[in-house]
Amino acid sequence: MNLLRTLAAISSMTMLSRVTGLLRESLFARAFGASIYTDAFIVAFRLPNLLRRMFAEGAFSQAFVPILSEYKEKNGPEETKQLVDQVGTLLLWSTILISIVGILAAPLLIIWIMEAKDLTPQTYEAAVWMTRFMFPYIACMSFVALAGGVLNTWRQFKIPAFTPVLLNVAFILASLFLAQRLAQPIYAMAIAVMVGGLLQVALQIPPLMKIGMLPRISLNPLRPLRDPGVRRMLGKMGPAVFAVSAAQISLIINTSWASGLGPGNVSALTYADRLMEFPTAMLAWRWAPSCCPAWPRPIPTATSSNTRR
């Protein structure tokens, strides 16, 4: 009976996430349509999302959750907390470094993905600004992935299942109320991404504090590499990164090809993709990793991960 209640709670939260995600996309399409500016936002959002799916929610979760479960069962609370501290430190400093590189390389990344002939100075500037503004989103989502792994291991499933709804709500409110108040309306969506990321982080902190597993970040970024649990996790991440990267690289290639077909085609492809994936996401078998946190998470595909943004 407890399993059925847990499954019902997770399913209802996932349903809410999918429904608000579809509403988010509908309102975004109504507010901004399909243009070079919406293409610029989608490309700018896709870059940190690619890294998030490859590392934070993909390879990281698959490697971290089984090791964390093992520590919890065999090593006791003190060593488990130490593992969480070291992993949290590694994630924070790694994502800060990646964000700095992404912010500096944003102009080159935009030219690499988007068709240069379709970019005016205004759209190019907007794409670069949004890419730089949203790149720290990967740090927020890395913390959310860490927190979700910890809470699922402690069998607290509702918060991680509800968390994606906050990003959808931020998008919905920005498209309805903020976009009309900005000189460049599409910037409202970039702001919504960061607000949604910070809200997701804030939601995880109280339950982590309640179970005594809020990570304590070290100022020494190399210290986690001396921890045997962290080294085991990094060793397991290698094959998972390779497996997950195939779908994400394919997504970037599709985006680049769509960009070459003219302004608005990246947006049109994204809208069609979201609509197609909605029923798939509703029917996907997603409860086992949450109900059984010792299991490795299934490798995300382009279908499963795109709808969860």
Judge contact between 122 and 186, C-beta under 8 A: no
- For 296, the 3-state DSSP assignment is coil
What is each CA distance from 144 to 60, 61, 196, in whole angstroms?
12, 11, 12
Judge contact between 64 and 146, C-beta under 8 A: yes
What is each CA distance from 58 to 65, 215, 238, in whole angstroms?
11, 20, 11
Axis-axis angle for helices 2-32, 158-173 (nearest 10): 10
Show me where the domains of the chain are located: 2-306
Axis-axis angle for helices 36-51, 121-134 (nearest 10): 30
Least confident stretch, 2-6, 70-74, 86-90 = 2-6
Looking from the CA of 281 toward its CB, the CA atoms found within 13 Å total 26
Task: Give the C-alpha separation, 29 to 300, whole Å.
Answer: 26
- Note the residue count of the chain: 309
Q: What is the pLDDT of residues 243-266, one digit of tens each?
A: 666 666 777 777 777 777 777 778
Report the mean per-residue pLDDT for the chain: 82
Q: What is the pLDDT of residues 176-204, one digit of tens each?
A: 999 999 999 999 999 999 999 999 999 99
Local confidence band at 275 (pLDDT 50, 70, 90 cut-offs): confident
Task: Give the C-alpha separation, 23 to 185, whole Å.
Answer: 19
| Matching residue, tokens 């670069």 | 128
Residues 6 or more apart whose Cβ sits within 8 Å of residue 229: 67, 71, 83, 86, 87
Judge contact between 9 and 158, C-beta under 8 A: yes
pLDDT at position 89 over 70: yes
For a pLDDT cut of 90, what percent of the chain falls above it? 44
Task: Give the C-alpha separation, 52 to 55, whole Å.
Answer: 5
Q: What is the pLDDT of residues 144-162, one digit of tens each?
A: 999 999 999 998 888 988 9
pLDDT at 13: 80
Task: Give the C-alpha separation, 265 to 262, whole Å.
Answer: 6
9's tokens: 């709670």
- For 214, the 3-state DSSP assignment is coil
Local confidence band at 285 (pLDDT 50, 70, 90 cut-offs): very low
pLDDT at 157: 85
| Matching residue, tokens 């994630």 | 91
pLDDT at position 2 over 80: no
Strand runs (DSSP E) across 170-249, as ranges? Answer: none
pLDDT at 54: 67
